Amino acid sequence: MKNLYYYFGLGLLLCSCKSQIPQSANLYESRYSSLLEYPVDSLAFPRSMSVKTGIIHKVPSKDWTSGFFVGNLWQLYDLTGNKAYKEKAIQWNPFIEKEKHNGNTHDMGFKVYCSYGKGLALVPEKKAAYEKVIVESANTLITRFSPKVQAIRSWDFNKEVWTYPVIIDNMLNLELLFEASKITNDPKYRDIAIQHANTTLKNHFRADNSCYHVVDYDPQTGQPKTKMTHQGYNDDSSWARGQSWAIYGYTMAYRYTKDKAFLQQAEATANYFINNQNMPADGIPYWDFKDPSIPNAPRDVSAATCTASGLIELYGYTKNKTYLDYAKKVISTLSSTNYVIPATVKGPFILEHSTGNWPKNDEIDEPIVYGDYYFLEALLRLKAL
Protein backbone atom coordinates (compact mmCIF):
# COMPACT_ATOMS: atom_id res chain seq x y z
CA MET A 1 0.00 0.00 0.00
CA LYS A 2 2.84 2.34 0.93
CA ASN A 3 4.08 1.66 -2.63
CA LEU A 4 0.86 2.84 -4.19
CA TYR A 5 0.74 5.99 -2.12
CA TYR A 6 4.31 6.72 -3.07
CA TYR A 7 3.79 6.38 -6.80
CA PHE A 8 0.51 8.28 -6.64
CA GLY A 9 2.23 11.09 -4.72
CA LEU A 10 5.16 11.16 -7.11
CA GLY A 11 2.79 11.24 -10.06
CA LEU A 12 0.95 14.24 -8.59
CA LEU A 13 4.21 15.98 -7.87
CA LEU A 14 5.49 15.47 -11.37
CA CYS A 15 2.21 16.45 -12.99
CA SER A 16 2.42 19.72 -11.10
CA CYS A 17 5.65 20.53 -12.95
CA LYS A 18 5.40 22.59 -16.10
CA SER A 19 6.82 20.17 -18.66
CA GLN A 20 4.95 17.19 -19.99
CA ILE A 21 6.42 13.96 -18.73
CA PRO A 22 5.62 10.31 -19.24
CA GLN A 23 4.24 8.09 -16.47
CA SER A 24 7.27 7.67 -14.27
CA ALA A 25 6.30 4.82 -11.95
CA ASN A 26 6.73 2.13 -14.58
CA LEU A 27 9.96 3.66 -15.73
CA TYR A 28 11.47 3.44 -12.28
CA GLU A 29 10.12 0.09 -11.14
CA SER A 30 12.51 -2.08 -13.12
CA ARG A 31 15.45 0.19 -12.32
CA TYR A 32 14.75 0.05 -8.60
CA SER A 33 14.51 -3.73 -8.58
CA SER A 34 17.79 -3.98 -10.53
CA LEU A 35 19.52 -2.97 -7.29
CA LEU A 36 18.09 -6.08 -5.62
CA GLU A 37 19.28 -8.32 -8.44
CA TYR A 38 22.90 -7.22 -8.04
CA PRO A 39 24.82 -10.01 -6.22
CA VAL A 40 26.00 -9.31 -2.67
CA ASP A 41 29.81 -9.14 -2.75
CA SER A 42 31.98 -7.49 -0.10
CA LEU A 43 34.61 -6.54 -2.69
CA ALA A 44 32.40 -5.28 -5.50
CA PHE A 45 30.42 -2.13 -4.71
CA PRO A 46 28.85 -0.92 -7.97
CA ARG A 47 30.17 2.53 -8.86
CA SER A 48 29.25 3.17 -12.50
CA MET A 49 28.54 1.35 -15.74
CA SER A 50 28.63 1.61 -19.48
CA VAL A 51 25.10 1.28 -20.83
CA LYS A 52 26.57 0.39 -24.23
CA THR A 53 28.75 -2.53 -23.10
CA GLY A 54 26.93 -3.42 -19.88
CA ILE A 55 30.28 -3.47 -18.04
CA ILE A 56 29.90 -2.48 -14.39
CA HIS A 57 32.73 -0.65 -12.67
CA LYS A 58 33.01 -2.34 -9.24
CA VAL A 59 35.07 -1.01 -6.34
CA PRO A 60 36.15 -2.13 -2.85
CA SER A 61 34.96 -0.40 0.32
CA LYS A 62 37.96 1.93 0.40
CA ASP A 63 36.71 3.72 -2.74
CA TRP A 64 35.06 7.07 -1.92
CA THR A 65 31.82 5.95 -3.57
CA SER A 66 31.27 2.66 -1.70
CA GLY A 67 28.63 4.03 0.69
CA PHE A 68 26.25 5.26 -2.00
CA PHE A 69 25.01 1.87 -3.18
CA VAL A 70 24.04 0.88 0.37
CA GLY A 71 22.52 4.34 0.80
CA ASN A 72 20.44 3.73 -2.31
CA LEU A 73 19.11 0.48 -0.87
CA TRP A 74 18.18 2.26 2.38
CA GLN A 75 16.49 5.08 0.49
CA LEU A 76 14.54 2.67 -1.71
CA TYR A 77 13.28 0.96 1.43
CA ASP A 78 12.25 4.34 2.77
CA LEU A 79 10.56 5.33 -0.51
CA THR A 80 8.75 2.11 -1.31
CA GLY A 81 8.34 0.32 2.01
CA ASN A 82 9.58 -2.88 0.36
CA LYS A 83 11.49 -4.81 3.04
CA ALA A 84 13.66 -6.54 0.43
CA TYR A 85 15.68 -3.30 0.11
CA LYS A 86 16.15 -3.13 3.86
CA GLU A 87 17.33 -6.74 4.02
CA LYS A 88 19.88 -6.11 1.26
CA ALA A 89 21.10 -2.93 2.95
CA ILE A 90 21.59 -4.81 6.22
CA GLN A 91 23.66 -7.37 4.30
CA TRP A 92 25.80 -4.76 2.52
CA ASN A 93 26.40 -2.32 5.39
CA PRO A 94 28.97 -4.40 7.35
CA PHE A 95 31.27 -4.56 4.31
CA ILE A 96 31.91 -0.85 4.86
CA GLU A 97 32.58 -1.04 8.59
CA LYS A 98 36.33 -1.53 8.29
CA GLU A 99 36.59 1.91 6.68
CA LYS A 100 36.09 3.39 10.16
CA HIS A 101 39.83 2.78 10.70
CA ASN A 102 40.93 4.10 7.32
CA GLY A 103 42.61 7.44 8.04
CA ASN A 104 44.16 7.76 4.58
CA THR A 105 41.41 9.93 3.14
CA HIS A 106 38.77 12.49 4.07
CA ASP A 107 36.01 10.51 2.36
CA MET A 108 34.73 8.98 5.61
CA GLY A 109 31.42 10.83 5.42
CA PHE A 110 30.67 9.68 1.90
CA LYS A 111 31.48 6.08 2.81
CA VAL A 112 30.14 5.74 6.32
CA TYR A 113 27.47 8.39 6.65
CA CYS A 114 25.77 7.68 3.31
CA SER A 115 25.48 4.02 4.35
CA TYR A 116 25.27 3.70 8.14
CA GLY A 117 23.86 7.19 8.51
CA LYS A 118 20.95 6.46 6.17
CA GLY A 119 20.19 3.25 8.05
CA LEU A 120 20.06 4.93 11.48
CA ALA A 121 16.43 6.03 11.45
CA LEU A 122 15.22 2.98 9.54
CA VAL A 123 16.32 0.10 11.76
CA PRO A 124 15.80 1.00 15.43
CA GLU A 125 17.16 -2.41 16.49
CA LYS A 126 20.54 -1.53 14.94
CA LYS A 127 20.66 2.12 15.96
CA ALA A 128 23.19 1.71 18.77
CA ALA A 129 25.53 -0.44 16.67
CA TYR A 130 25.34 1.96 13.71
CA GLU A 131 25.95 4.97 15.97
CA LYS A 132 29.07 3.28 17.32
CA VAL A 133 30.44 2.91 13.79
CA ILE A 134 29.67 6.56 13.05
CA VAL A 135 31.49 7.78 16.16
CA GLU A 136 34.52 5.52 15.54
CA SER A 137 34.67 6.83 11.98
CA ALA A 138 34.50 10.42 13.21
CA ASN A 139 37.42 9.71 15.57
CA THR A 140 39.46 8.58 12.57
CA LEU A 141 38.38 11.51 10.38
CA ILE A 142 39.42 14.16 12.92
CA THR A 143 42.99 12.81 12.90
CA ARG A 144 43.23 14.59 9.54
CA PHE A 145 42.45 18.00 11.07
CA SER A 146 45.19 20.61 11.39
CA PRO A 147 44.58 23.31 14.03
CA LYS A 148 47.06 25.49 12.12
CA VAL A 149 45.18 25.30 8.81
CA GLN A 150 41.86 24.90 10.62
CA ALA A 151 40.74 22.35 8.06
CA ILE A 152 40.70 18.61 7.42
CA ARG A 153 43.24 17.48 4.85
CA SER A 154 41.43 15.94 1.90
CA TRP A 155 43.93 13.91 -0.04
CA ASP A 156 47.34 12.30 0.49
CA PHE A 157 48.19 11.57 -3.16
CA ASN A 158 49.91 13.98 -5.60
CA LYS A 159 52.43 15.01 -2.91
CA GLU A 160 54.70 16.51 -5.57
CA VAL A 161 51.93 19.00 -6.45
CA TRP A 162 50.09 19.68 -3.17
CA THR A 163 51.25 20.10 0.42
CA TYR A 164 47.91 20.27 2.25
CA PRO A 165 45.05 19.98 -0.26
CA VAL A 166 41.50 20.74 0.81
CA ILE A 167 38.74 20.16 -1.74
CA ILE A 168 35.22 21.56 -1.78
CA ASP A 169 33.83 17.98 -1.73
CA ASN A 170 35.13 17.74 1.85
CA MET A 171 32.16 19.83 3.03
CA LEU A 172 29.96 16.75 2.65
CA ASN A 173 32.07 14.77 5.11
CA LEU A 174 31.19 17.23 7.88
CA GLU A 175 27.73 15.72 8.35
CA LEU A 176 29.33 12.68 9.97
CA LEU A 177 31.11 14.96 12.45
CA PHE A 178 28.00 16.96 13.33
CA GLU A 179 26.12 13.71 13.93
CA ALA A 180 28.97 12.28 16.03
CA SER A 181 28.65 15.26 18.38
CA LYS A 182 24.90 14.73 18.61
CA ILE A 183 25.37 11.06 19.43
CA THR A 184 28.13 11.56 22.04
CA ASN A 185 27.29 15.02 23.39
CA ASP A 186 30.98 15.75 22.83
CA PRO A 187 31.38 19.06 20.92
CA LYS A 188 34.87 18.26 19.59
CA TYR A 189 33.64 16.80 16.28
CA ARG A 190 31.25 19.69 15.67
CA ASP A 191 33.94 22.26 16.55
CA ILE A 192 36.24 20.79 13.91
CA ALA A 193 33.43 20.72 11.35
CA ILE A 194 32.69 24.40 12.00
CA GLN A 195 36.34 25.42 11.73
CA HIS A 196 36.64 23.49 8.46
CA ALA A 197 33.49 25.12 7.06
CA ASN A 198 34.72 28.60 8.06
CA THR A 199 38.16 28.08 6.49
CA THR A 200 36.56 26.80 3.28
CA LEU A 201 34.16 29.74 3.28
CA LYS A 202 37.10 32.13 3.50
CA ASN A 203 39.32 30.58 0.83
CA HIS A 204 37.34 28.49 -1.65
CA PHE A 205 34.96 31.04 -3.17
CA ARG A 206 35.40 33.54 -5.98
CA ALA A 207 33.76 36.96 -6.23
CA ASP A 208 30.95 35.48 -8.36
CA ASN A 209 30.31 32.83 -5.65
CA SER A 210 31.48 29.92 -7.74
CA CYS A 211 34.16 27.88 -6.03
CA TYR A 212 37.58 26.44 -6.70
CA HIS A 213 37.90 22.70 -6.48
CA VAL A 214 41.23 22.51 -4.60
CA VAL A 215 42.89 24.95 -2.20
CA ASP A 216 46.40 23.94 -1.23
CA TYR A 217 47.58 25.27 2.16
CA ASP A 218 50.95 25.79 3.73
CA PRO A 219 50.66 23.61 6.85
CA GLN A 220 53.34 25.70 8.64
CA THR A 221 51.59 29.05 8.26
CA GLY A 222 48.05 27.82 7.68
CA GLN A 223 47.74 30.16 4.68
CA PRO A 224 46.42 29.16 1.24
CA LYS A 225 49.21 28.77 -1.33
CA THR A 226 47.40 27.90 -4.56
CA LYS A 227 43.86 27.53 -5.80
CA MET A 228 43.22 25.18 -8.65
CA THR A 229 41.17 22.36 -10.08
CA HIS A 230 41.62 18.62 -10.21
CA GLN A 231 38.39 17.51 -11.87
CA GLY A 232 37.25 20.70 -13.60
CA TYR A 233 38.05 22.09 -17.06
CA ASN A 234 40.79 24.40 -15.75
CA ASP A 235 41.77 26.26 -12.58
CA ASP A 236 39.41 29.16 -13.29
CA SER A 237 36.46 27.13 -14.53
CA SER A 238 33.38 26.07 -12.57
CA TRP A 239 33.24 22.31 -12.22
CA ALA A 240 29.51 21.66 -11.87
CA ARG A 241 29.68 18.99 -9.17
CA GLY A 242 32.06 21.13 -7.15
CA GLN A 243 29.39 23.86 -7.10
CA SER A 244 26.85 21.22 -6.00
CA TRP A 245 29.06 20.08 -3.14
CA ALA A 246 29.28 23.71 -2.00
CA ILE A 247 25.51 24.31 -2.19
CA TYR A 248 24.64 21.06 -0.45
CA GLY A 249 27.51 21.35 2.06
CA TYR A 250 26.73 24.88 3.27
CA THR A 251 22.99 24.16 3.45
CA MET A 252 23.77 21.12 5.61
CA ALA A 253 26.25 23.11 7.75
CA TYR A 254 23.51 25.70 8.33
CA ARG A 255 21.15 22.91 9.47
CA TYR A 256 23.49 22.09 12.36
CA THR A 257 24.80 25.57 13.23
CA LYS A 258 22.20 28.16 12.18
CA ASP A 259 25.18 30.29 11.14
CA LYS A 260 23.81 32.89 8.71
CA ALA A 261 27.14 33.09 6.84
CA PHE A 262 26.72 29.44 5.83
CA LEU A 263 23.16 30.07 4.66
CA GLN A 264 24.24 33.10 2.64
CA GLN A 265 26.99 31.13 0.89
CA ALA A 266 24.60 28.30 0.08
CA GLU A 267 22.16 30.81 -1.44
CA ALA A 268 24.83 32.76 -3.33
CA THR A 269 26.29 29.62 -4.92
CA ALA A 270 22.80 28.25 -5.60
CA ASN A 271 21.94 31.47 -7.44
CA TYR A 272 25.17 31.24 -9.43
CA PHE A 273 24.30 27.64 -10.35
CA ILE A 274 20.65 27.87 -11.28
CA ASN A 275 20.90 31.25 -13.06
CA ASN A 276 24.10 30.41 -14.91
CA GLN A 277 24.04 31.53 -18.55
CA ASN A 278 25.27 28.08 -19.53
CA MET A 279 22.60 26.19 -17.59
CA PRO A 280 20.46 24.29 -20.11
CA ALA A 281 16.69 24.90 -20.00
CA ASP A 282 16.04 21.39 -18.64
CA GLY A 283 18.14 22.07 -15.50
CA ILE A 284 20.81 19.40 -16.05
CA PRO A 285 24.15 21.25 -16.14
CA TYR A 286 27.07 20.58 -18.40
CA TRP A 287 29.82 18.89 -16.41
CA ASP A 288 31.68 22.24 -16.18
CA PHE A 289 29.94 25.59 -16.66
CA LYS A 290 32.97 26.88 -18.56
CA ASP A 291 33.76 24.02 -20.93
CA PRO A 292 34.29 25.85 -24.26
CA SER A 293 32.66 22.98 -26.15
CA ILE A 294 29.23 23.80 -24.64
CA PRO A 295 26.57 22.99 -25.99
CA ASN A 296 28.37 19.83 -27.10
CA ALA A 297 29.89 19.08 -23.68
CA PRO A 298 28.62 16.13 -21.61
CA ARG A 299 26.05 16.79 -18.92
CA ASP A 300 26.38 15.81 -15.27
CA VAL A 301 23.21 14.38 -13.77
CA SER A 302 24.96 13.91 -10.42
CA ALA A 303 25.52 17.69 -10.15
CA ALA A 304 21.82 18.23 -10.89
CA THR A 305 20.57 15.69 -8.35
CA CYS A 306 22.96 16.77 -5.59
CA THR A 307 21.96 20.41 -6.11
CA ALA A 308 18.27 19.50 -6.30
CA SER A 309 18.44 17.65 -3.00
CA GLY A 310 20.36 20.49 -1.36
CA LEU A 311 17.95 23.08 -2.71
CA ILE A 312 14.90 21.30 -1.30
CA GLU A 313 16.50 21.68 2.10
CA LEU A 314 17.51 25.28 1.33
CA TYR A 315 13.92 26.05 0.32
CA GLY A 316 12.88 24.90 3.79
CA TYR A 317 15.11 27.56 5.40
CA THR A 318 14.53 30.42 2.96
CA LYS A 319 11.05 29.76 1.51
CA ASN A 320 12.57 30.94 -1.79
CA LYS A 321 10.42 29.10 -4.32
CA THR A 322 13.10 29.37 -7.01
CA TYR A 323 15.00 26.63 -5.20
CA LEU A 324 12.03 24.29 -5.03
CA ASP A 325 11.17 25.01 -8.67
CA TYR A 326 14.68 24.06 -9.75
CA ALA A 327 14.50 20.79 -7.81
CA LYS A 328 11.12 19.93 -9.32
CA LYS A 329 12.36 20.75 -12.78
CA VAL A 330 15.31 18.39 -12.33
CA ILE A 331 13.09 15.55 -11.12
CA SER A 332 10.70 16.18 -13.99
CA THR A 333 13.50 16.21 -16.58
CA LEU A 334 14.99 13.02 -15.18
CA SER A 335 11.64 11.23 -15.28
CA SER A 336 11.95 10.49 -18.95
CA THR A 337 13.44 7.82 -21.15
CA ASN A 338 16.20 10.28 -22.04
CA TYR A 339 17.58 9.82 -18.55
CA VAL A 340 16.13 6.65 -16.96
CA ILE A 341 18.10 3.60 -18.09
CA PRO A 342 15.93 1.31 -20.28
CA ALA A 343 14.40 -1.67 -18.49
CA THR A 344 16.21 -4.03 -20.86
CA VAL A 345 19.64 -2.95 -19.56
CA LYS A 346 20.99 -5.00 -16.64
CA GLY A 347 22.87 -3.14 -13.90
CA PRO A 348 22.13 -1.64 -10.46
CA PHE A 349 21.66 1.96 -11.55
CA ILE A 350 18.73 4.26 -12.30
CA LEU A 351 19.90 7.31 -14.25
CA GLU A 352 22.20 7.86 -17.20
CA HIS A 353 24.36 10.88 -18.09
CA SER A 354 26.57 11.65 -15.10
CA THR A 355 30.18 12.69 -15.59
CA GLY A 356 32.78 11.48 -13.10
CA ASN A 357 36.24 12.69 -14.04
CA TRP A 358 36.41 14.51 -17.36
CA PRO A 359 40.14 15.43 -17.27
CA LYS A 360 40.96 11.74 -16.87
CA ASN A 361 38.40 10.72 -19.50
CA ASP A 362 36.84 8.50 -16.84
CA GLU A 363 33.08 7.86 -16.34
CA ILE A 364 31.89 10.29 -19.00
CA ASP A 365 28.13 10.47 -19.61
CA GLU A 366 27.40 7.28 -17.66
CA PRO A 367 25.18 6.05 -14.85
CA ILE A 368 27.09 6.77 -11.62
CA VAL A 369 25.98 5.61 -8.19
CA TYR A 370 26.00 9.03 -6.50
CA GLY A 371 23.80 10.51 -9.25
CA ASP A 372 21.17 7.98 -8.15
CA TYR A 373 21.84 8.56 -4.45
CA TYR A 374 21.01 12.27 -4.55
CA PHE A 375 18.09 11.62 -6.91
CA LEU A 376 16.51 9.26 -4.37
CA GLU A 377 17.29 11.68 -1.56
CA ALA A 378 15.62 14.48 -3.51
CA LEU A 379 12.51 12.30 -4.02
CA LEU A 380 12.39 11.59 -0.29
CA ARG A 381 12.85 15.24 0.60
CA LEU A 382 10.09 16.30 -1.80
CA LYS A 383 7.83 13.68 -0.34
CA ALA A 384 8.53 14.99 3.16
CA LEU A 385 7.65 18.62 2.33
- d(CA 46, CA 70) in angstroms, rounded, equals 10
Smaller CB separation from ligand GLY, 6 or 356? 356
Among 63, 99, 169, 291, binds ligand GLY (CB under 6 A): 169
263 neighbors 257 (Cβ within 8 angstroms): no
Smaller CB separation from ligand GLY, 78 or 363? 363
189 neighbors 180 (Cβ within 8 angstroms): yes
Task: Return the number of other C-beta atoms located less than 10 Å from residue 64's C-beta.
Answer: 18
Among 231, 237, 309, 335, binds ligand GLY (CB under 6 A): 231
Q: Kindly state the smallest distance separating residue 169's Cβ from ligand GLY, in Å.
A: 4
Smaller CB separation from ligand GLY, 239 or 262? 239
Residue 320: left if φ>0, alpha if ψ -120 to 50, beta else—which one?
beta
Does 230 interact with ligand GLY (rule: CB under 6 A)?
no
Q: Kindly state the smallest distance separating residue 110's Cβ from ligand GLY, in Å.
A: 7
Smaller CB separation from ligand GLY, 64 or 339? 64
Residues between 57 and 76 that touch ligand GLY (CB under 6 A) = 64
Got the DSSP string for 77-100?
Answer: HHHH--HHHHHHHHHHGGGGGGGG
314 neighbors 320 (Cβ within 8 angstroms): yes
Catalytic: 107? yes
Smaller CB separation from ligand GLY, 75 or 244? 244
State the residue number with the nearest CB to ligand GLY: 169
Alpha helices in the chain (DSSP H): 2-15, 24-37, 66-80, 83-92, 108, 118-120, 127-141, 174-184, 188-203, 240-257, 260-274, 301-318, 321-334, 369-384
- d(CA 340, CA 208) in angstroms, rounded, equals 34
- d(CA 332, CA 358) in angstroms, rounded, equals 26
- d(CA 258, CA 292) in angstroms, rounded, equals 38
Q: Using DSSP, state whether 346 is helix, strand or coil.
A: coil
Q: Kindly state the smallest distance separating residue 241's Cβ from ligand GLY, in Å.
A: 5
Given 63, 169, 288, 300, the catalytic residue: 169
End-to-end CA distance of the chain: 20
Residues between 289 and 348 that touch ligand GLY (CB under 6 A) = none
Q: Kindly state the smallest distance separating residue 239's Cβ from ligand GLY, in Å.
A: 9
Q: Kindly state the smallest distance separating residue 249's Cβ from ligand GLY, in Å.
A: 11
Q: Kindly state the smallest distance separating residue 227's Cβ from ligand GLY, in Å.
A: 17
Does 241 interact with ligand GLY (rule: CB under 6 A)?
yes
Smaller CB separation from ligand GLY, 101 or 360? 360
Catalytic residues: 107, 169
* Binding site residues, ligand GLY, CB under 6 A: 64, 169, 231, 241, 356
